[in-house]
Structure 1
Amino acid sequence: MRSILILCLVLAVGEAMRDQSIAVKGRLMCGDKAAANVRIKLWEEDSGPDPDDLLEAGYTDSDGSFQLSGGEAELTPIDPIFKVYHDCDDNFISHEYSKPNAQQAEILQDFSKFSKPEERPPMAVEHQMYDYRQAEEELHDELFAIVCCPHSIGFDRDKIALVDLDPSSETFCTTISEIILPSNGDEPGRINWAKSADSLTEMNKLVRKHIIVPCMNSGKIYVIAFEKQQFKIEKEIQSDELTRKNVSCPYAVRSLPLKGAPVHVSTLGDRYGNGKGDFVLIDRKTWEIRKKSEPAFSPFGGDFTLQPRHNILISSEWGHPRLFRDGFSPSELENVSESFGSRLHVWQISPPKLLQSLHLDSFDGSLVIAVKFLHNADCNHAFAISAVGSSIFHVHMNTLTKHWTADRVAHIPCLKVEHWQSDEMPALLTDMIISMDDRWLYVCGFLHGVIWRFDIQDPFRVTLNGKINIGGVFDSFPEVRIKSSNAMEDRWWLPPETRSFARGTKFRGGPALMQLSKDGCRLYVCNSFYKAWDAQFYPELISDGGQMVRVDIIENEMKLNDRFLLDMKGQPNGPFVIRDMKFLDGDCTSDSFL
């Protein structure tokens, strides 16, 4: 449905004191109907270092009419921008899944409540933010966490552990229970629960009993039952089952919030270790791999994110598993376009169909390590980060044309250094996390040792809000220095000079993976991403093991909690590193809302 905007711009510029003003007046229509109660904003865009200015914000009235105005004192003529936060396309996309007939009825029934527009939840009038502080229980939902702990050297078996995060507990920052995986060298990737809540309010009510553990090196997938703080392996999907389907290297896990819907696991390679982006679908009743209706895959695999309401899946590209399993070589970093993927793929979930491939810059978008939708199911916005390119992309859809676009909204430049492996050091972005209220984006630089916090309330105008230093190359190798030439540049992205330590212990390595509490006040940070990368940049992680620390966010300030430290050094049968983590009642990365 087309959106028709009727408006009138009036610009008045005063010569004295260079005061300038702008006014916008008009009526917003969706087809032949008035678009009432639509969020609108009037901005003044600055081309220099100053941030853009919000002149006035408001809503359209009952007949779609509106009027905004504002002024600024500027040296040059102001550049006004009028923004409308609205989606006129209210058609619901029906979902069909290729499944056994007995389960098809359950899925269709689950979707039926959204089949009629008048029965659907109201569409967001703007980039809606969840008020997730309303329920007091949200403050206590991460008393325990399940963490993934690969053996750092690999001569012994990896484990999954339950750790105590409650500061008032006698077992604070210790392992409560654990399960040892049956074989050596599994190298678990990104773990996740087999079930997903369909909304924020249902997260605490959902009974989560099984966690899916994909293993990047062995090619196995474990289904681990969890009940009464104890683990049990319920199913072990052998690598041969994936090889027969010509896939390998399972990495990330996501689930749809529907009865009978399968668990999606992304795979990064074919049977020979060459790049191939595909998925295996695991039945949640039998834990068997389902047969897909149609073969569909991309040249490279990686992370992915789901938007069930719009029947959309976006996947990213890494590279050839046979290459990144050995770390980074200078030739690969010099020829990124040949070594790594630089595309995002937009898929229809069911029936599976590739809708569009977004080609990013071969350097800025090289090795897209993570991609995530906003939590608000009405929004068609997502963010992605690249590891080698060290860039942040805003991914969004034009609701009229259904065309997707990826805009680079931030870039972390390489640091010019001396006494390191190279003359330039990339940030090597390895993880990002979006707060539950869709206000903040946290991004970690594995080599720079920095976590940046960006304001994404307006996803088209991402701004830096804060940063904190946690480890990094400069802490691990004091001889490495930043060249003075960096001092002449904008310093917003440089590592902070202030450093702190949890319990007086140095943070080995750099920030690699994160998890955020649902109230947005506690950010948990681990220092291992992939053992080949750990060994290449931080050998101490392999010899001494991994760690997890906590960053407290108080009144927009990020501060390392000096009491919280989970250290795997000296663990029996270790050392182990700490990889991914999940809260028992769900977290900012566990669910795909409907």
Structure 2
Amino acid sequence: MATTLRPDPTFYPSPRLAMAGPAEQYGYVALLCPDGSRPDAIAVVDFDPASPTYTQEVHRVEMPNTGDELHHFGWNACSSMLGPQSCHPFVQRRYLIVPGLRSSRLHIIDTQPDPAQARIVKTIEADELLSKTGYSRPHTIHCGPEGIYISTLGGAGPDGDEGPAGIFLMDCESLEILGRWEIDRGPQDLHYDFWWHIAHDIAMTSEWCKPPQFENGLVPEALLGNQYGHRIHFWDLSARKHRQVIDLGENHQMALELRPAHDPTRQHGFLGVVVDTTNLAGSIWTWYRDGKEFRIEKTAEIPAQPAAADQLPELLKGFEAVPPLVTDIDLSLDDRYLYVACWGIGQLRQYDVSDPMAPKLNGTIELGGVVNATPHPNGQPFAGGPQMVEISRDGRRVYFTNSLYSSWDDQFYPGGVPGALVKADIAADGTMTLDPDFFVSFGEGYRAHQVRLHGGDCSTESFAYP
């Protein structure tokens, strides 16, 4: 009997078709144990409102070691596999690739046959990663048509600061490391996020810092000396060659999350910048194609929140203000709304970016924050502030957690950041409402970071067709 090969049903050729697909049934949440007394874990949370265990953690995948500091994990395959350049149209969205940012380990988690009972099937140790790539501190996972792309924050050496950080590739089927991605890196040295305009063969990367400037916390002298990253890089994706760098100005410290338009006919996107050292403001920048080159402009600024010194942690007392700390951004699949996490002041902002050069603030949710410590509508405290943001494919639900990075959590929120996951509902007109009945707590001693949705989400998918 003939066998018919069909693409994974969670792959969609266009954003519009992805938005019309089934709603997510499960969420996977990275949990970290900041004191290292227990292993980090991936929690499986029931996201199906019709289920008797809705909003409950139904399973937990513990890592085999302690001290990983799980970070921006992602899928082995996604909708980019349906592009004409894909070599793997029939691979399945099956495995979660989970990086340990402190340990430099990679964990492979299988979500089949039961997505609610995921399990570890492979661990790649730091020495194998370093020997095959020259990199350490794996950070962000993206699935592309050629395989799995993994960004790193460190190079060689015990402190990860010997040589540049960059990207390496894994095979999306064998799950073996293939090697370093860059053929010609040009002036690129620091690294953070990356993504692409896949139909135009263009990649983008951003900058944070080397491990000595983040692993033990924010280094105030380095920040005030404008020593963190402040550039965006553009690359030839298939040739793996650097083609352009734009400096935002050294005062625009920590150029982090990149969110390109999902419509493959468009060549613009958004960059979040954590802090301006001249006024502590956070900002959103829009890049766009201008002939053969790219340009970028600051299109939204979020001011710092004044506060008395006795309301502030030690790190901020001398400033008498809280920077908004734009630590994550996410773009809906219709390219309509950009969600901006302001972890310092406890806000999730929604901008209408129908005109990408003129974002309009459409709504704000207040939750947590250094000064206000706004509780959840159910009355429970929400430590930290909105941090990692994930949007459902249809754009009607926005999930977010509250931990940034363990040592930075301790500096800005010395009272602790117990892990929590919450949800905002988005009406047809874009109105945001925090769901009073959706509050997931992960227990004593754990913090919550990245969220991934079973079946795909807005910060993992890239599409070949408009």
**Do they superpose with TM above 0.5?**
yes
Cross-structure match for 1:395: 287
The secondary structure found in structure 2 opposite 1:503 is: coil
- 1:278 equivalent to 2:278? Answer no
Correspondences of 1:487-526 after superposition (within 5 Å): 501-526=376-401
- Distance (whole Å) between structure 1 residues aligned to residue 173 and residue 441 of structure 2: 37
- Distance (whole Å) between structure 2 residues aligned to residue 134 and residue 276 of structure 1: 38
- 1:404 equivalent to 2:294? Answer yes
Q: Which amino acid aligns with 1:317?
A: E
Cross-structure match for 2:463: 593
| CA drift at 1:130 | 5.5
| CA drift at 1:200 | 9.9
CA contact (8 A) 1:502 1:564 kept: no
Cross-structure match for 2:279: none
- 1:386 equivalent to 2:273? Answer yes
- 1:309 equivalent to 2:184? Answer no
- Distance (whole Å) between structure 2 residues aligned to residue 515 and residue 291 of structure 1: 29
Match for 1:224 among 109, 113, 118? 109
Q: Which amino acid aligns with 2:446?
A: F
Q: Which amino acid aligns with 1:561?
A: D
- Distance (whole Å) between structure 2 residues aligned to residue 425 and residue 472 of structure 1: 9
- Distance (whole Å) between structure 1 residues aligned to residue 378 and residue 67 of structure 2: 31
Correspondences of 1:334-413 after superposition (within 5 Å): 334-336=224-226, 338=227, 340-364=228-252, 366-389=253-276, 390-398=282-290, 401-413=291-303
CA contact (8 A) 1:301 1:316 kept: yes
Unaligned runs of 5+ in 1: 1-109, 111-120, 122-128, 477-498
- Distance (whole Å) between structure 1 residues aligned to residue 390 and residue 181 of structure 2: 35
Q: Which amino acid aligns with 1:360?
A: L
Q: Which amino acid aligns with 2:93?
A: R
- Distance (whole Å) between structure 2 residues aligned to residue 577 and residue 384 of structure 1: 26
Q: Which amino acid aligns with 2:359?
A: V
- 1:538 equivalent to 2:413? Answer yes
Change beyond 3 A, Cα 1:249–1:370 = same
Q: Which amino acid aligns with 1:550?
A: K
The secondary structure found in structure 2 opposite 1:579 is: strand
- Distance (whole Å) between structure 1 residues aligned to residue 71 and residue 64 of structure 2: 16
Q: Which amino acid aligns with 1:473?
A: V
CA contact (8 A) 1:267 1:276 kept: no
Cross-structure match for 1:580: 450
Residue by residue, what CA displacement relative to the aligned partner does 1:258-313 show, whole Å, maximum 9, x if unpaired? Answer: 3xx22000011111322723111111232221135764442101011122211111
| CA drift at 1:450 | 0.7
Unaligned runs of 5+ in 2: 1-6, 8-12, 84-89, 277-281
The secondary structure found in structure 2 opposite 1:290 is: strand
Q: Which amino acid aligns with 2:462?
A: S
CA contact (8 A) 2:167 2:182 kept: no
Change beyond 3 A, Cα 1:553–1:134 = closer
CA contact (8 A) 2:345 2:372 kept: no
Change beyond 3 A, Cα 1:335–1:474 = same
Change beyond 3 A, Cα 1:262–1:536 = same
The secondary structure found in structure 1 opposite 2:142 is: strand
Q: Which amino acid aligns with 1:169?
A: S
The secondary structure found in structure 2 opposite 1:277 is: coil
CA contact (8 A) 1:387 1:429 kept: yes
| CA drift at 1:569 | 2.8
Task: Return the index of the structure with the highest Cα Rg.
Answer: 1
Cross-structure match for 2:66: 184
| CA drift at 1:134 | 7.3
Cross-structure match for 1:159: 41
Residue by residue, what CA displacement relative to the aligned partner does 1:37-74 show, whole Å, maximum 9, x if unpaired? Answer: xxxxxxxxxxxxxxxxxxxxxxxxxxxxxxxxxxxxxx
The secondary structure found in structure 2 opposite 1:322 is: helix
**More divergent stretch after superposition (152-161 vs 579-588):** 152-161
Q: Which amino acid aligns with 2:68?
A: D
Change beyond 3 A, Cα 1:294–1:410 = closer
| CA drift at 1:546 | 0.7
The secondary structure found in structure 2 opposite 1:163 is: strand
Cross-structure match for 1:327: 217
- Percent identity, aligned pairs only, is 30
Residue by residue, what CA displacement relative to the aligned partner does 1:511-544 show, whole Å, maximum 9, x if unpaired? Answer: 11111112212111100121111111123435xx
- Distance (whole Å) between structure 1 residues aligned to residue 208 and residue 179 of structure 2: 25
- Distance (whole Å) between structure 1 residues aligned to residue 391 and residue 230 of structure 2: 27
- Distance (whole Å) between structure 2 residues aligned to residue 521 and residue 206 of structure 1: 28
Residue by residue, what CA displacement relative to the aligned partner does 1:79-110 show, whole Å, maximum 9, x if unpaired? Answer: xxxxxxxxxxxxxxxxxxxxxxxxxxxxxxx9
Change beyond 3 A, Cα 1:277–1:200 = same
Cross-structure match for 2:147: 262
Correspondences of 1:414-453 after superposition (within 5 Å): 414-419=304-309, 420=312, 421-422=316-317, 423-453=320-350
CA contact (8 A) 1:197 1:206 kept: no
- Distance (whole Å) between structure 1 residues aligned to residue 307 and residue 269 of structure 2: 33
CA contact (8 A) 1:409 1:462 kept: yes
Higher relative contact order (CA 8 A, sep 6+): 2
Cross-structure match for 1:237: 124
The secondary structure found in structure 2 opposite 1:167 is: coil
Q: Which amino acid aligns with 1:576?
A: Y
The secondary structure found in structure 2 opposite 1:233 is: strand
- Distance (whole Å) between structure 2 residues aligned to residue 133 and residue 209 of structure 1: 18
Change beyond 3 A, Cα 1:183–1:296 = farther
- Distance (whole Å) between structure 2 residues aligned to residue 236 and residue 214 of structure 1: 10
Change beyond 3 A, Cα 1:199–1:278 = closer
| CA drift at 1:133 | 9.2
- Distance (whole Å) between structure 2 residues aligned to residue 541 and residue 134 of structure 1: 37
Residue by residue, what CA displacement relative to the aligned partner does 1:142-193 show, whole Å, maximum 9, x if unpaired? Answer: 2211111111322210011211122332212211122111111001111111
Change beyond 3 A, Cα 1:293–1:153 = closer
Q: Which amino acid aligns with 2:302?
A: I
Cross-structure match for 1:556: 430
CA contact (8 A) 1:148 1:160 kept: yes
- Distance (whole Å) between structure 2 residues aligned to residue 348 and residue 231 of structure 1: 36
Q: Which amino acid aligns with 1:404?
A: F
CA contact (8 A) 1:535 1:541 kept: yes
The secondary structure found in structure 2 opposite 1:535 is: helix
Change beyond 3 A, Cα 1:303–1:246 = same
- Distance (whole Å) between structure 1 residues aligned to residue 179 and residue 46 of structure 2: 39
Cross-structure match for 1:45: none
